[in-house]
Amino acid sequence: MPRNSSRKATEISPSANSSDMLRAASGKAATKELERIDHLFYSYANNSSGLIDPEGIESLCSDLEVDHTDVRILMLAWKMQAEKQGYFTLDEWRRGLKALRADTIIKLKKVLLDLEREVRRPANFVDFYSFAFRYCLTEEKQKSIDIESICVLLDLVLGSHFPPQVDALIQYLKIQIDYKVINMDQWMGFYRFCNEISFPDLDNYDPELAWPLILDNFVEWMRANLS
C-alpha cells in the first residue's frame, strides 16, 4: 500500500503568537509614551532655539510647584545628564523622563520624591555631587567656580547631609582671602572631608594624607576658633 506523502505544515504556536502581540503592544506603548514626553518638552521649549531655556525651566518649576533653586531640579538635571546649566535639550529631556517613566507633568511631580531617594543612595550621591560642580561650569573651558557660587552650591547639595560641617565651611570660605575660586579637586575634597573627618573635634584629620591645602587651612582656622 503506497505511503501518504509527508507534508510540512507550518503551525504558529499560541505562545509565540501571544509573545508577538505583547511585543507589538509594548512597542506601541513605548511610542505613545515618547510622543507624550516630546509633547511635554515642546510645551516648555523656546520655539526659536528648540531648547527648554531658563524661562521654560521657570514655567516647569511653577507647574511642579517647586522653586527653581530647589535641589530636586538639580537632581532632575542629573537624571537627564544635562550639559548646560539652565537648558535642557530634547535628547536630555527624553533620557531623563524615560528613565523616570514620567510622560506627564502629574507623573513627573510624583516621581520627584522617588528621584530624591535615588540620588541619596551613597553609590549615586557621589556621581550627583560631582555632576553638580560640572553643571555649574557655565563657560567653555571653565574649570573653577567662584566662592560665592560654591557657598550656595555647598548648602544646596550637602547642607542637609552635613549641616555643621557645611555651615563651618561656608563661614570659612566667606572670610578667607587666599582663594577666589574652587576647583573640582577641592570640591570633591569637601565631600571626602565631611564623610571621613570627625567633627567638630577634627581628631582624625591628618594633613599628611594629601588633602587639598584649603582644607588644611580650614582645619587650622577651626582649631584656632575652638581653642
Number of domains the chain contains: 2
Q: What's the whole-model pTM score?
A: 0.85
Convert the pLDDT of each residue in 3-55 to its tens digit: 554 444 445 555 656 666 556 555 676 789 999 999 999 999 999 999 999 99
The 3-state DSSP class for residue 79 equals: helix
Range of the domain at 205: 124-226
pLDDT at position 9 is 46
Same-domain pairing of 101 and 128: no
Task: Tell me the three cell numbers of residue 211.
Answer: 588633602
Q: What percent of the chain has pLDDT over 70?
A: 88
Task: Tell me the three cell numbers of residue 44.
Answer: 516648555
Q: CA 87, CA 52: separation in Å to the nearest integer?
A: 5
Short-list 223, 163, 150, CA closest to 189:
150
Owner of C-alpha cell 573627618? 197
Owner of C-alpha cell 507633568? 105
Same-domain pairing of 98 and 175: no
How far is residue 110 from each of residues 50, 60, 73, 192, measured CA to CA in Å? 26, 14, 13, 32
Q: What is the CATH number of the domain that holds 106?
A: 1.10.238.10
Q: Which residues pair with 88 in a beta bridge?
A: 52
pLDDT at position 30 is 78
* DSSP classification of residue 146: E
Q: CA 44, CA 11: separation in Å to the nearest integer?
A: 51
- DSSP letter string, 193-213: HHHHS-TTT-TT--GGG---H
Q: Which residues pair with 183 in a beta bridge?
A: 144
Q: CA 148, CA 153: separation in Å to the nearest integer?
A: 9
Overall residue count recorded for the chain in this entry: 227
pLDDT at position 22 is 57
- The last residue of one of the domains, among 76, 98, 119, is 119
Same-domain pairing of 136 and 222: yes
pLDDT at position 18 is 65
Same-domain pairing of 150 and 197: yes
Query: Does residue 60 belong to any structural domain of this protein?
Result: yes
- The last residue of one of the domains, among 119, 145, 166, is 119
pLDDT at position 28 is 73
Query: Angle at CA 117, nearest 5°, toward 112 and 122?
Result: 140
Same-domain pairing of 98 and 149: no
Task: Tell me the three cell numbers of residue 210.
Answer: 594629601
Q: CA 172, CA 212: separation in Å to the nearest integer?
A: 15
State CA 16 to chain mean position distance: 41
Query: Does residue 145 belong to any structural domain of this protein?
Result: yes
In this prediction, the residues of the chain whose per-residue pLDDT falls under 70 are 1-27, 29
pLDDT at position 31 is 86
* DSSP classification of residue 11: -
Residue 181 backbone phi and psi in degrees, to 5: -140, 165
